[in-house]
Amino acid sequence: MILGVAPLDNGGQLYHLCKALNRYTKYDARCLTFIQTYLQYDTDLLLSNFNTLAKQYELRDLVRSADFFIFSEFLPTDPNIKHILEDLGIFTNITPKNTIIRVAGSYSRANADHYLLEWIKHDWIYAGPYSDWTLSGSIGRIIHVNYICPVDKIPEPKPTEDTIRICFAPTKAAKGINEFNSVMQRLENKYDNVEPVVITKKSWRDAISIKATCHITFDQFMLAQYANSSIESMYLKHAVLSRISSLCYAYCPDLPIQTVRGKEELQKGLEKLIENPELIKERGEAGRKFVMKHHHPEVVAKQWENLIEHVLRKD
pLDDT digits (tens, 9 = 90+) for 85-115: 999 999 989 999 999 999 988 888 888 999 9
- Give dist(CA 267, CA 225) in Å, integer: 20
Provide the residue count of the chain.
315
Q: Are strands 68-72 and 99-102 parallel, antiparallel or unpaired?
A: parallel
Distance in angstroms between the alpha carbons of the first and the last residue of the chain: 21
Answer for the pair 276, 239: CB distance below 8 angstroms, yes or no.
no
Axis-axis angle for helices 263-275, 277-294 (nearest 10): 110
* Mean pLDDT for the chain overall: 94
Q: Are strands 216-218 and 45-46 parallel, antiparallel or unpaired?
A: unpaired
Q: Which residues pair with 102 in a beta bridge?
A: 72, 127
Count other C-beta atoms under 10 Å from residue 3's C-beta.
25
Residue 133 confidence (pLDDT): 87
23 secondary structure, DSSP code? H
Domain boundaries, the chain: 2-146+296-313, 152-294
Domains 2-146+296-313 and 152-294 equal at CATH topology level = yes
- Give dist(CA 219, CA 62) in Å, integer: 39
Q: Rounded to two decimals, what is the model's pTM?
A: 0.94
* Strands of 113-170, DSSP E: 125-128, 142-144, 164-168
Select 2-146+296-313's CATH number: 3.40.50, 3.30.300, 3.30.70, 1.10.10.
3.40.50
pLDDT tens for residues 157-202? 999 888 999 999 998 888 999 999 999 999 999 999 999 999 999 9
- Give dist(CA 160, CA 169) in Å, integer: 18
pLDDT tens for residues 246-255? 999 999 999 9
Answer for the pair 298, 17: CB distance below 8 angstroms, yes or no.
no
Q: Compute the Cα dihedral for 220, 223, 225, 231 and give only its sign.
A: negative
- Give dist(CA 304, CA 17) in Å, integer: 9
Answer for the pair 141, 126: CB distance below 8 angstroms, yes or no.
yes
Banded pLDDT at 312 (limits 50, 70, 90): very high
Banded pLDDT at 315 (limits 50, 70, 90): low
CATH architecture of 152-294: 3-Layer(aba) Sandwich (3.40)
Query: Percentages helix, strand, coil for the chain, rounded to the nearest 5?
Result: 50, 15, 35
Answer for the pair 136, 142: CB distance below 8 angstroms, yes or no.
yes
